[in-house]
Amino acid sequence: MKHLFLCFVLAFVFILPLTAADTLDFWVVDVEGGKAIIVRNPSGQTMLIDGGMPGFNDRDLNRVLAAAQDAGVKRFDVALITHYDVDHVGNVPNIDSKLPITLLVDHGPLLPNPKLAGINRRAADAYVAFLRGRKRLSVKPGDTIPFRDVRITVVTSNEQVISKPLSGGGIANDACPAEGPAQTRDDDNAASIGTVWQFGRFRMADFGDLVKWAEYKLMCPKNPIGTVDLFMVSHHGLDRSNSPALVHALRPKVAISNNGERKGISPEVARTLRSSPGLEDVWQLHYSTTAGPDLNTSEQYIANMKAQGCQGHWIKISARRDGSFTVTNTRNNVSKTYKK
């Protein structure tokens, strides 16, 4: 009987932490208008989505390392590189030197693009050189990215889009315009990997810096995705992205913006987010001088209020299999839980 009781106690002790840790967690790092997100799944695997900028006295590197310490991350099983612009890929080799990356996931070869020049071209070339001898997976629409406990479906990659709708998708998109913008290549943004994440009943969409013409190619005339709970605002909230055809069709409850103080959350995008059906809140990494006092979100949902002396506070999201999720602002410890 004593042995049975001891087994019961030990089972309870070991099961309790596993139950408590059954969340999909995201750390949206402040890299001043670039992008860097750390993800940890319930199995303990870790992912880096982009890495921010190099330089600036290792500002972005140090902020990623600080968030990684909070997440208990010592290495990354996967690094998802949405595209090759410097504010996304430029810092990845530096991060790898501190927190080794096992698998690099990207959109594959660069398309011919005379506008990919200067600092962005150098960042792309440096990433290609960094890849030598590394384990790499280049994905196309319809592929899934290996990461336990969650299904991550690629819906855009290298200017291509999925040909078959996901579960819940395939209905006419009333937010599509009669005619969208012409297809042009501006840096590597249109090639961004766009993903839809499914964790139990929780759904999230992230499209990197996908621009409007590529959004229309994906979402019009029919929405192949359906709705999501969480939307990672595209392109830092710039109005070259985030069309109503994308945002309003997805109908997210919450939008998270990786903007800087002077980059992102344009007035047009702020209005698109606010008018999106079913949207409850927008959370921002920075107060946006572009949006101005009337179009910024509530101060309690802004992680960094001023660039001068900015501490690089991040936003954390913990998603549960029942579809609920909690968002936390680490500047003021304000948290809000959203139900399915």
Residue 17 has a pLDDT of: 43
Residue 184 has a pLDDT of: 86
Report yes or no on 234 lying in a domain: yes
Structural domain for 89, as ranges: 22-338
Residue with tokens 């998109």: 173
Between CA 328 and CA 65 the distance in angstroms is 19
Between CA 112 and CA 96 the distance in angstroms is 28
Whether the model clears a pTM of 0.85, i.e. scores above it, the answer is: yes
302: β partners: 284
Per-residue model confidence as pLDDT tens digits over 282-333: 999 999 999 999 999 999 999 999 766 678 999 999 999 999 999 999 999 9
Report yes or no on 16 lying in a domain: no
Residue 9 has a pLDDT of: 44
Query: Using an 8 Å Cβ cutoff, are 257 and 236 in contact?
Result: yes
Contacts of 20 (CB under 8 A, 6+ apart): none
Between CA 161 and CA 224 the distance in angstroms is 10
Report yes or no on 10 lying in a domain: no
Report yes or no on 14 lying in a domain: no
Q: Which two tokens stand for residue 73?
A: 């991350």
Report yes or no on 9 lying in a domain: no
Between CA 287 and CA 7 the distance in angstroms is 53
Residue 15 has a pLDDT of: 46
Residue 12 has a pLDDT of: 44
Per-residue model confidence as pLDDT tens digits over 58-99: 999 999 999 999 999 999 999 999 999 999 999 999 999 999
Report yes or no on 313 lying in a domain: yes
Stretches where the chain sits below pLDDT 50 are: 1-20
Between CA 312 and CA 202 the distance in angstroms is 28
Report yes or no on 293 lying in a domain: yes
Between CA 238 and CA 264 the distance in angstroms is 5
Q: How many independent structural domains does the chain possess?
A: 1
Q: What is the CATH number of the domain that holds 219?
A: 3.60.15.10
